């Protein structure tokens, strides 16, 4: 089964390139046999941010699941920079380990489906 990693961002985001690099690195590290597509989704305004449940730029999702475990519980959608907290530090893009873990979870889920 193919998997999709979405990178959601707004024009002018200073951290989207870092997110792109981290996503490519995560795919290489995960070593999954299934194809992994990368989609870039530009979010234009606050209305679209709400409809896409966009928590800020950059947002990374694997098969529509936010790589940040807290992402599903939040509702502060909008055109804004997104900051991630990991190991007591604030970083401007999700850590590669989070993306690898999310991708591996989705691979396991797809294997469990009949």
For the beta carbon of residue 106, count every other beta carbon within 10 angstroms: 22
- Rounded-to-integer distance, Cα 16 and Cα 114, Å: 36
What's residue 33's pLDDT?
A: 79
pLDDT, tens digit, 9 for 90 and up, residues 17-58:
999 999 999 999 998 878 899 999 999 999 999 999 999 999
Q: Name the CATH code of domain 3-112 (choices 3.40.30, 3.10.310, 3.30.70, 1.10.600).
A: 3.40.30
- Rounded-to-integer distance, Cα 82 and Cα 91, Å: 9
The pairing of strands 3-9 and 59-62 is antiparallel
What's residue 106's pLDDT?
A: 86
pTM for the structure as a whole: 0.91
- Rounded-to-integer distance, Cα 35 and Cα 24, Å: 13
The closest alpha carbon to 100, from 18, 32, 33, 6, belongs to 32
């Amino acid at each position: 089964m193919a998997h999709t990693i979405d990178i959601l961002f707004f024009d002018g985001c200073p951290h989207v390139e870092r997110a792109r690099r981290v996503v490519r690195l995560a795919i290489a590290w995960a070593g999954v046999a299934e194809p992994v597509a990368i989609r870039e989704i530009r979010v234009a305004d606050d209305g679209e941010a709400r409809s896409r449940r966009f928590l800020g730029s950059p947002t990374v999702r694997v098969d529509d699941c936010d790589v940040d475990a807290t992402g599903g519980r939040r509702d502060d959608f909008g055109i804004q920079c997104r900051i991630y907290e990991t190991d007591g530090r604030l970083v401007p893009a999700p850590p590669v380990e989070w993306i690898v873990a999310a991708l591996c979870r989705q691979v396991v889920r797809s294997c469990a489906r009949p």
